[in-house]
Amino acid sequence: MRLITVAIHTYDHACRLRRRLEREGIEVVLQNVNLESPVVSSGVRVRIHEHNLPLALRIIENPDVFPEDESPGNSDVREILVPIDFSAHSFNAARVAVSLAAIHGSDLRLLHTYIGPVVAGKMQLTDSLTYELTDADARRKIEEDASAHMQRFIKALKDLMRSGELAAVKINTEIREGVPEDAIIQYVRSNPPLLVVMGTRSFEKKEREMVGSVCAQVLDGCRFSVLVIPEGAELRQSDGYMKMLFFANLDQEDILAMDSFYRVFPDMSARASVVNIPGKRRLLERAKVDNPESLVAYFRNSYPASEFKAEDIAATDAMVDFDRLQLQNSYDLIVVPNKKKNLLSRVFNPSLAHRLLFHADIPMLVIPV
């Protein structure tokens, strides 16, 4: 099988990269090493088999996800994390997460966060938890009620497992104090998950919480893949295929994102529409690189069990064109490679994933690139 070069480094740096890649199961060959004085060699080629390229690029481009020095605890099978607020849409997300955990042989982690009385004063924590936080027992009361709600939530999931409606997986729980979006992001940094699955409200209800959506803040700040499940939605397949709308950047990050999709859904056959929204600088004069056909050809060659086609979408009317494509194709899933933005950019120029979150009632896989 053909070897390709993914990096050229000094000897020490090449050895560190080799250890990172081999830890993820990628065979690595180092070439051009000065055997007499390897430590001073400045042109060491890091080479891998061609079929490992997508995973290798993801490892190299995402040091937060694949750190060079991992603690022993991070070598275990990673969990699927489900932040919950005990609502119907978070229970729906947990059901989807159970099915994915069974596919991957991983555990499920339910994470509930609450805002303590020092921050809250008087506030409504969820649809069912409202407190007047004025006495010293407020925090204990919140913790006790959160624990009771968690036990009822787990019982409901296990009842579905006993009935055979859901696969049986191990469920772990975590209850933390803090602002929900900050607590979720801090948790995934300390405990890298295989995937984060979050439930959201329906389109009409999301419009009312556009500024303060916890899910939107997590999408902007989390460097792990997030699967968003809208209220009442489920992951569907039509005739054995998942109809997918893939938003491409037309660069190597698309390869990383598609590889991430198949790592989440390893046995999935997809019928994918690949679209690109051109940047503002290329609205008037679109270069050949703006044509996704070459990317589609690569995907067809790399994933022969799936079908791919290119679709056009306009930058000026992206959401209108999205509605048109959805009406024509009835997609089951949206996949969005999501580039990190600074705070000002997120406020004045929200990401595509952010905009789609408040526009669509379709499951969406958001992949950091």
Specify burial of residue 363 (Cβ count, 10 A radius: 0-12, 13-18, 19+): buried
List phi, psi (to 5°) of 75: -85, -10
- Residue labelled with tokens 């968003």: 228
pLDDT score of 334: 95
Cβ neighbours of residue 19 closer than 8 Å, sequence gap 6 or more: 68
- State how beta strands 242-248 and 333-338 pair: parallel
pLDDT of residue 357 exceeding 90: no
pLDDT score of 188: 92
SS (H, E, C) 109-148: EEEEEECCHHHHCEEECCCCCEEECCCCCHHHHHHHHHHH
Residue 274 · residue 249 · CB < 8 Å: no
Q: Which of the given ranges, 71-75, 127-131, 151-155, 313-317, has the highest pLDDT on average?
A: 151-155
Confidence of residue 247 (pLDDT cuts 50, 70, 90): very high
pLDDT score of 214: 87
pLDDT score of 251: 84
How is residue 235 written in tokens?
């992951």
List phi, psi (to 5°) of 3: -95, 140
Identify which of 22, 1, 358 has the alpha carbon closest to the alpha carbon of residue 207: 358
Cβ neighbours of residue 323 closer than 8 Å, sequence gap 6 or more: none
Residue 196 · residue 227 · CB < 8 Å: yes
CA distances from 141 to 134, 136, 344 (A): 12, 10, 38
Between residues 138 and 82, the one the model is more confident about:
82
- Average pLDDT in the 309-324 region? 83
pLDDT of residue 122 exceeding 80: no
Between residues 310 and 312, the one the model is more confident about:
310
pLDDT score of 283: 44
Residue 98 · residue 79 · CB < 8 Å: no
Q: Helices 53-61 & 252-264, crossing angle to 10 degrees? A: 100
What are the pLDDT digits (tens) for 38-71?
544 457 888 999 888 888 887 787 665 555 554 4
Cross-strand bridge partners of residue 174: 111
pLDDT score of 134: 52
pLDDT score of 341: 61
Which amino acid is it at 26? I
Confidence of residue 72 (pLDDT cuts 50, 70, 90): very low
List phi, psi (to 5°) of 282: -110, 20
Between residues 327 and 349, the one the model is more confident about:
327
What are the pLDDT digits (tens) for 258-286?
999 999 998 889 999 999 877 654 444 44
State whether residue 61 is helix, strand or coil: helix
Cross-strand bridge partners of residue 81: 109, 196
pLDDT score of 342: 56
Segment (H or E) for 198 = strand 195-200
Q: What is the largest CA-CA distance in the chain?
A: 74
pLDDT score of 301: 92
Between residues 110 and 137, the one the model is more confident about:
110
pLDDT score of 135: 53
In the chain, DSSP finds a helix count (H) and a strand count (E) of 13, 15
Residue 45 · residue 88 · CB < 8 Å: no
pLDDT of residue 119 exceeding 80: no
State whether residue 301 is helix, strand or coil: helix
- Residue labelled with tokens 């994470």: 111
pLDDT of residue 212 exceeding 60: no
Confidence of residue 74 (pLDDT cuts 50, 70, 90): very low
pTM above 0.85, yes or no: no
> What does the angle CA 224 – CA 227 – CA 231 come to, to the nearest 5 degrees?
145
pLDDT of residue 199 exceeding 70: yes
Q: What is the DSSP letter of 256?
A: H
Alpha-carbon distance 366 to 369, whole Å?
A: 10
H helix intervals, 24-168: 53-61, 88-104, 117-120, 138-163
